[in-house]
Structure 1
């Protein structure tokens, strides 16, 4: 659907990755953040084995299932990589992240607040190897990871449940308020989350009810008339009940014409725990978002026309509305010392509406902009599911067995208006919506999926751990065409598995290796059309090796991962008949990922990550052209993030100054690799003052140099347009916890 797939692009003026300046910056960042984290520090880490791990929050401890056993580990302080935490996103067995034979990033709420982040896209986009692809003002979550892009390869989950996707649109959750941390599992994650997760999966973990009263308030204001308000509360309700409620609202006039955006949400959890063995929860959420009605700016020869920056050629009465309702019920019962049984029943409902003119082509000779794609459409999405799971602690084995069933109903309504109308480049106002094509119901789909999975974390010895898992997904999809004769029924099936081995060099250092298999759909399953109905799921296999280490009594942590993924059965052209498309293409990627946190002293902390991605099409034909050896669209070869924090105490309280940079390499805008956008580096800064515990005032500066850049590469086609990244802005916030 075009409104989602437009390039989130603004032509980058940042230095390309091939420049000496960028290489110097990268080397300095890696040396600073990674150079000191060497295995020679293992002796210090081993000496700290007896130290108790510092707890994260009382809510997080309360949320842990009774079957999870967290062994003593080196002290973990703020801003760490979460290596001592149970892996709630990488495995259902609950093993510690340091022992997980897979690459998993953990970013807690304190860390993203220090950086001045609140949007989910920004929080996830700073983790290693995750490239945001969606516009900053558009409420959708689309990323690239390990050479694979979009919502069909990079999944989004909340508390381990995949969120419904339709027409490549994943708008929820749009912000991080009410969440305790975000965990990003890279590589094929189908064993945990099912189809559509070959590149990575980001799982947002909610804040939990607590027996200790907690109150949180966030107030903020910033550039372009921005304002935000967040409220959070948790505490007991009698002897057996506890609760958690979070509310958040935001408003901005936006950087561009008609780019006003506002929205709000309410998240609530009620917990009943009559005994240590039984816990029941009811969750109810509501979200209402009205994102910016801005779809980019026209380009010339792949470059932004600067004099058109900030102009919006959408209709004056355009509209975008995204509403989500979610209800979940959970039961967890510790039957005895070795058996835990849980069940989760959920229902999600999304109502989405768009009415916009989304395509703009600039003609300098006439001074006109040709507007097209008069799109009015609506989504009606409902997802109901149930997951039954048992965990078994059988001595050296920690087993997880489960069955998940879900049914998704999707209704699509839209118009059909292919007009192209000229508008003077400086015209204002732009006029009302005048499409002669009415919006009508076009098709409905019903998708029923049964997933069966089993995992075993087998402790072979104090040094060796074997993690094995298998999952079988069976999907029945039915599409009813309401206007034509394109109705059909189809069945899709996929088997995912993982075999990983972890070896503990010492108490704080682990090396691992894993082989895994996952699968992605050719197109979004809920909106498959007749042409794609004959295709099976694509298959991807990965080989990964890595290292995870804590050192200097928890003051430093680092991880390294090297991988290769081969994805087969992508759609390509029939060798013998150019008019036909078949499955038989192949795409591969290999790379290196590094991340580290280093606390140089009580005052200084450094955080950094770097990803090298070498991706290509191995077998791909389109229109008689062989694309073998070409890099896929919007896949940068290099990505890096760096943050430096300096804290000091004074008579007026605690101060912290932070400086960060995000660098993304050059990306191609077409399969033949003839059009590309240069790499970019965006600098951010933050200054916070904590006059007393529980009170923090923060000044955040984003895009300090006002760099002009794009998330997605900009095509050099005549009809191309670009979506500029966020320009320089200032935000002030005050946060109180009591």
Structure 2
């Protein structure tokens, strides 16, 4: 752990806590500690993700959902991915290879189709991996924009965009504390504070530490998250906010449990087939500076500059398969002695990644005449990404066969062979515009466009016989020094509001996805000339707010088509960019509060995702469901705020069956997991929580790592937490 950063974080928190305690001991916090969270779908609260025009969900011709940060912590969600998968149509497909953060939305999966943002600024993945942010403790809310989002945020957002909005400085003094302990020796200690520091300064500071022994052998994990922000606001029209975040994460070194004869064997579900000295370690350090200036009542300007440094390490023996009676692995990973587990892919990988960027937009609001109003946003986005990629792939040939039930984990072989292989320099610039024309009080027309240009340069390192770097060589074919991508995307939609609480909408939008990951672009001569895959969506829906704002409902139907997949008609034919996949579906959500302290949040999705035209290696996948895509999913959460400081809650998470391969040979069964909780407030500022995860102790595959290698979810676990507001 970086001792300087940790010391700085502790000092920042100490100062924050000192600032919270006033000389007279007063506090502005009056809310009962159990009254936390609000409806996940606030229809009349402006979102930061669905539009830069400051529109509410009722005013947007798109599907936008919000998961409130207090609700996340009340439910006991442990990760950002776990929290956001409570939103309509979102499921997690996270595994150690993608930083445990990848998601599936509307039939499209992974970091190249579901964009992830922090405070509206996109994160650029490396080899399909993102590891930031690390903890939901300092999250104010998570917003989900479903469907193509390239017009707003650029390439890699055909399925949707996920925006994590962190807690901000405020003028209200607050201090939150939590300490918990539970099953698998799981511990959590967290603190957060905020408030004014004089007339023009305010702050926010958060720290969260987690550790656990995990639910498999050698399953220890540990993480530290620090965040702080200082806001300078000399007037109501101008503010400058400096924010820093640091994450140090050592996740569980668990790549999954191999099936035996196609089934999960109860004797292996707590076994960890990784090596004894496996390592996974992620460090992310982010700094942002945001300026907001209301030039006049009609004109405003926002600019955000940022720097993100990510350093990631993996040393693992990653793939396992059971050798059947024929002596072959069902997934085709070789042969061996029947009845044993074959372990292979002894991989060492290091990402040294740095991102710099700046995003600005100018908003102009005007009245065009009687009953006509227009809002316009003009902006630009520039980014530069520097990556050094190291691995041991040339030496990663360690494999062995072990007894499924009794074996020596062994140690990692080849760490010394993990050396820098190549570096890439990726630059991006784009210009965008968004406009809304409001006709009277009931009709709005909304549109936008984005032009983006991405350039990727890649150089491979050259080594001498002694293993010393002697130079670099251009990696692209035909003497090319770089690869340039140009994309133009647009969207147009309409909203009809017969009443202020009801809206009908329709939208057509376009998007682009890279073929893989932009920053680790392939050097394959055939694919060098390919463009990004292109897609479009047609969507229509209805939204409503009722019960004086205590209830909301949404219903959306959509169809997305993605063209330009890489395909190969026969094993000997050329690779072409001719494939196509599509998805169509329905999403619905309902949230409301009732007298007597009862509240309900429910959502669900039904979709059909298919390869329409996709042949690779002579295998025709047309009609198949893409891997990692569940075609049904639902969430239900019930809460009862009782008398005498008592609160009870229960939730159901359902994920339908999916496949771990595009050929649909390996089916992963669906699952339903029940969580529950009971809270008691001793005072309005002090409460204890009892949280039960996986109440029915369901064995299930949360996701997969290979065809028959399941990453199992947490078994039944009980945590007890003490929370305080001061």
| TM-score (normalised: structure 1) | 0.86
Task: Please name the residue that 1:486 is paired with.
Answer: 475
CA contact (8 A) 2:285 2:308 kept: yes
Moved more, 403-412 or 79-88: 79-88
1:693 to partner: Cα distance: 2.4
Task: Please name the residue that 2:579 is paired with.
Answer: 585
CA contact (8 A) 2:73 2:137 kept: no
Structure 1 residues 685 and 194, CA gap change in structure 2 (3 angstroms): same
Equivalent-residue separation in structure 2 for 1:723 and 1:534 (angstroms): 37
Structure 1 residues 393 and 227, CA gap change in structure 2 (3 angstroms): same
Structure 1 residues 432 and 136, CA gap change in structure 2 (3 angstroms): closer
1:664 to partner: Cα distance: 1.2
For 1:159-198, list aligned pairs within 5 A.
Answer: 159-198=119-158
Structure 1 residues 470 and 482, CA gap change in structure 2 (3 angstroms): same
1:437 to partner: Cα distance: 6.2
1:723 counterpart SS class: strand
Equivalent-residue separation in structure 1 for 2:475 and 2:623 (angstroms): 36
Task: Please name the residue that 1:625 is paired with.
Answer: 619
Structure 1 residues 224 and 713, CA gap change in structure 2 (3 angstroms): closer
Structure 1 residues 436 and 266, CA gap change in structure 2 (3 angstroms): closer
Equivalent-residue separation in structure 2 for 1:255 and 1:333 (angstroms): 50
1:503 maps onto 2:482 in alignment:
no
1:728 alignment partner, one of 709, 716, 722: 716
Structure 1 residues 699 and 533, CA gap change in structure 2 (3 angstroms): farther
1:412 counterpart SS class: strand
Task: Please name the residue that 1:540 is paired with.
Answer: 535
1:360 to partner: Cα distance: 2.0
Task: Please name the residue that 1:456 is paired with.
Answer: 435
CA contact (8 A) 1:93 1:399 kept: yes
Task: Please name the residue that 2:596 is paired with.
Answer: 602
Equivalent-residue separation in structure 1 for 2:339 and 2:624 (angstroms): 37
CA contact (8 A) 2:134 2:225 kept: no
Task: Please name the residue that 2:660 is paired with.
Answer: 669
Over residues 137-192 of structure 1, what are the superposed CA-to-partner deviations in whole Å (9 max), with x where a residue is unaligned? 98521111111111111111111001121011111113211111111000001111
CA contact (8 A) 2:319 2:706 kept: no
1:348 to partner: Cα distance: 0.3
| TM-score (normalised: structure 2) | 0.87
For 1:649-664, list aligned pairs within 5 A.
Answer: 649-650=643-644, 654-664=645-655
1:423 to partner: Cα distance: 3.3
1:176 counterpart SS class: coil
1:570 alignment partner, one of 551, 565, 575: 565
Equivalent-residue separation in structure 2 for 1:424 and 1:191 (angstroms): 53
CA contact (8 A) 2:37 2:68 kept: no
Task: Please name the residue that 2:366 is paired with.
Answer: 394
1:369 maps onto 2:357 in alignment:
no
1:713 to partner: Cα distance: 5.8
Structure 1 residues 511 and 109, CA gap change in structure 2 (3 angstroms): same
Moved more, 298-307 or 448-457: 298-307
Aligned residues: 658
Over residues 601-653 of structure 1, what are the superposed CA-to-partner deviations in whole Å (9 max), with x where a residue is unaligned? 23211110010111111111122232222211121221111111112112xxx
Equivalent-residue separation in structure 1 for 2:130 and 2:167 (angstroms): 21
Moved more, 182-191 or 231-240: 231-240
Over residues 421-450 of structure 1, what are the superposed CA-to-partner deviations in whole Å (9 max), with x where a residue is unaligned? 233445555233233861111010000000
Structure 1 residues 399 and 694, CA gap change in structure 2 (3 angstroms): farther
1:518 to partner: Cα distance: 0.7
2:356 alignment partner, one of 368, 372, 384: 384
Over residues 500-544 of structure 1, what are the superposed CA-to-partner deviations in whole Å (9 max), with x where a residue is unaligned? 100102110111000000111011000111124322111111000
2:314 counterpart SS class: strand
Over residues 210-231 of structure 1, what are the superposed CA-to-partner deviations in whole Å (9 max), with x where a residue is unaligned? 1221111111111100001111
1:443 counterpart SS class: strand
Equivalent-residue separation in structure 2 for 1:495 and 1:696 (angstroms): 52
Task: Please name the residue that 1:711 is paired with.
Answer: 702
1:277 to partner: Cα distance: 1.4
Equivalent-residue separation in structure 2 for 1:380 and 1:251 (angstroms): 25
Equivalent-residue separation in structure 2 for 1:434 and 1:715 (angstroms): 22
Equivalent-residue separation in structure 2 for 1:144 and 1:604 (angstroms): 31
Structure 1 residues 301 and 580, CA gap change in structure 2 (3 angstroms): farther
Task: Please name the residue that 1:355 is paired with.
Answer: 315
Task: Please name the residue that 1:35 is paired with.
Answer: none
Root-mean-square deviation over aligned CA pairs: 2.1
Equivalent-residue separation in structure 2 for 1:534 and 1:359 (angstroms): 33
For 1:37-48, list aligned pairs within 5 A.
Answer: none
Task: Please name the residue that 1:696 is paired with.
Answer: 687
CA contact (8 A) 1:667 1:713 kept: no
1:682 alignment partner, one of 660, 664, 673: 673
Task: Please name the residue that 1:65 is paired with.
Answer: none
1:344 to partner: Cα distance: 1.2
For 1:280-429, list aligned pairs within 5 A.
Answer: 280-363=240-323, 368-395=340-367, 396-416=373-393, 417-427=396-406, 429=408
Equivalent-residue separation in structure 2 for 1:467 and 1:260 (angstroms): 50
1:485 to partner: Cα distance: 6.4
1:643 maps onto 2:637 in alignment:
yes
Task: Please name the residue that 1:445 is paired with.
Answer: 424
1:304 counterpart SS class: coil
Q: Which runs of 5+ in 1 are unaligned?
A: 1-57, 60-75
1:98 counterpart SS class: helix
Over residues 110-159 of structure 1, what are the superposed CA-to-partner deviations in whole Å (9 max), with x where a residue is unaligned? 22223221311111111111111114998521111111111111111111
1:530 alignment partner, one of 523, 528, 552: 523
1:721 to partner: Cα distance: 2.0
Equivalent-residue separation in structure 2 for 1:535 and 1:644 (angstroms): 49
CA contact (8 A) 1:137 1:291 kept: no
1:674 to partner: Cα distance: 2.9
1:300 to partner: Cα distance: 2.5
